[in-house]
Amino acid sequence: MEERWISPDISTGALEHFARRLEQVGTQLHAMEIWQGGAPVLRWDIAPYRCDDRREVYSLSKSFTATAVGLAFDRGLLSPDDALSRFFPQQVAAQADERWQHVRLRHLLTMTVGHAECPMPRMAFAPDSVESFFSAPLVYEPGERFVYSTGASCMLAEVVRRVTGCTVPDWLTRELLGPMGVEALQWDTCADGRCQGGTGLKATCSEIALLGALYCARGVWKGRRLLSEEWVDMAGSLQVKNEDNGTPDWCAGYGFQFWRNKAEGYRCDGAFGQLCVILPQRDLSLAMVAESVNMSDELDVVWELLDHLYDARAGRGLPGAYTPAQRPSLGDWDSGWLRCGENAMGFTQIRLRCTGGALALTLCDGTRTQTVAAKPACWTENTIVVKNMQPLLYRQMRRDMPAPFRFAAAAAARPNALVFECRGLDTPHAFSWVFQPDETGVSVRIEAKLDVFGAACAWRAEQAKSTEYGC
């Protein structure tokens, strides 16, 4: 399918209003798909973003993991009423607290295990994430209290591995996504190699849309049943109340790793604006990836759009690209090689050049040399391998190992500073890489609307002092 497609029945006026309202509430839309009646009615992305960009979707990962559990349920490999001791007999038997004997799989699915807080920040870096989960003491009776827990989702992924012999990404690809045309799936692991389950999935907007369309169709894809109606009904229905969990769309109840919506239907979502809204009564689902400062406000704007999606109102034109900052010519110059001070990203030296008004930043880390390019008024895609540039979220995202980081950059200038205006393509986040030259070198810092990279991404590079060699 082409990158952008809008059904003639859709109100372009409503879409224009939607885009303006999102900006007003601090949300930048990157890509969106709407499906109704088993077919797409909208596919909209805004450059440099694409519906097919594979990117971090944060906690939206949880609903993919729950779907993997559902596939195992459909094949008779597990039941929500199974005791946790069936899957982790040694760990449960070792617990002095008898409440562990009463923990069921459904308590993982509904985040009512009995913990007072999410154990995932420890699990992600522990030598054994399962042992770390069981080392967190129970405070409540199982089923008594909803406590949002990515750790519970991580344990669901391990349950799937133990009953199927496959990791969650392998199981989903083989049993569900492959038949839907998705042959690639990427998921981060904990330090011990286990799938994170509740976060770490890299998915495209189109793949999120497929999940929403499948649930909206009650498990049927192109005439073939891939997921049972029984599982779809259990996953999306009210399984546990959570009235004290925040704003209306987050305290309307919880299913099996799906949120109940305040008005109708249910959804999966991920931090900073990632959404998959499922409305069975309208036979409609919406997938959206974005960067949002307030997801409650974002959802309110989504409800406005869906209520006016088919209004007879034409628009003048939808935004097709985010425009980089317009700046004057940067001239031609070369900083030469600058030696880096201590920095979290591990760079040892850099070189900043401007030729023909385009910026080029060459980075060395002692093992590789990489160049990042940026031109004024247009986006240039770059990929670098770097550590500590993955977003910092609740201290449960692994950032210390070098990893590919893909982003689009545009050149800009400020008084006494050069700027790489950047938009992450593997993550939802926009940021600016700001270089402030002076007579001895350059100070480097990352600026972002949301503090997702951490203060460690500020450092300094200076001219190397000359050294005299003698015999």
Asked if the model's pLDDT at residue 2 lies above 60, the reply is no
What are the angstrom distances between the C-alpha of 106 and each of 69, 413, 418? 11, 54, 53
* pLDDT at residue 402, rounded to an integer: 80
pLDDT band at 79 (very low <50, low <70, confident <90, very high): very high
For residues 387 and 401, the answer to whether their CB atoms sit within 8 Å is: yes
Tokens of 317: 């034109």
The total number of residues written for the chain in this structure? 471
DSSP state of 29: E
The edge-to-edge listing of strands for the beta sheet with 186-187 is 55-56, 201-203, 186-187
Average model confidence (pLDDT) for the chain? 92
| pLDDT 10s digits, 110-121 | 999 999 999 999
Residue among 298, 320, 319, 304 at smallest CA distance from 22: 298
Q: What is the 3-state secondary structure (H, E, C) of 422-444?
A: EEECCCCCEEEEEEEECCCEEEE
* pLDDT at residue 395, rounded to an integer: 52
Residue among 149, 173, 148 at smallest CA distance from 71: 173
For residues 312 and 302, the answer to whether their CB atoms sit within 8 Å is: no
**Matching residue, tokens 């309202």:** 21
Other CB atoms within a 10 A radius of the CB of residue 206 amount to: 21
For residues 439 and 456, the answer to whether their CB atoms sit within 8 Å is: no
Percent with pLDDT over 70 in the chain: 95
| pLDDT 10s digits, 329-382 | 778 889 999 999 988 888 999 999 998 889 999 999 999 999 999 999 899 999
Asked if the model's pLDDT at residue 174 lies above 70, the reply is yes
* pLDDT at residue 469, rounded to an integer: 38
Tokens of 164: 């199927």
> Which amino acid, residue 431?
F
Tokens of 426: 């593997």
The angle formed by the CA atoms of residues 454, 460 and 463, to the nearest 5 degrees, is 165
| pLDDT 10s digits, 113-168 | 999 999 999 999 999 999 999 999 999 999 999 999 999 999 999 999 999 999 99
| pLDDT 10s digits, 238-249 | 999 999 888 999
48 prior amide bond cis, ω within 30? yes
For residues 411 and 331, the answer to whether their CB atoms sit within 8 Å is: no
Instruction: Please give the model's pTM, rounded to 2 decimal places.
Output: 0.94
The angle formed by the CA atoms of residues 263, 268 and 273, to the nearest 5 degrees, is 90
Q: Name the 3-class secondary structure at 115.
A: coil
State the first-to-last Cα distance of the chain, in angstroms, to the nearest integer.
70
Phi-psi region of 197 (alpha: psi -120 to 50; beta: other; left: phi over 0): left
Alpha-carbon gap, residue 122 to 433, rounded angstroms: 31
Phi-psi region of 379 (alpha: psi -120 to 50; beta: other; left: phi over 0): beta
Beta-carbon contacts of 433 under 8 Å, excluding residues fewer than 6 positions away, are: 361, 409, 419, 420, 422, 444, 446
Other CB atoms within a 10 A radius of the CB of residue 246 amount to: 11
Beta-carbon contacts of 180 under 8 Å, excluding residues fewer than 6 positions away, are: 210, 214, 221, 226
| pLDDT 10s digits, 5-53 | 889 999 999 999 999 999 999 999 999 999 999 999 999 999 999 999 9
Residue among 260, 217, 286 at smallest CA distance from 110: 260
What are the angstrom distances between the C-alpha of 11 and each of 128, 404, 428, 429? 52, 39, 27, 29
* pLDDT at residue 217, rounded to an integer: 97
* pLDDT at residue 343, rounded to an integer: 87
Question: Where is 224: in which H helix or E strand?
Answer: strand 224-225
Torsions phi, psi for 38 (to 5 deg):
80, 10
For residues 350 and 44, the answer to whether their CB atoms sit within 8 Å is: no
Segment 63-70 shows an average pLDDT of 98
| pLDDT 10s digits, 408-442 | 999 988 888 899 999 999 999 999 989 998 888 89
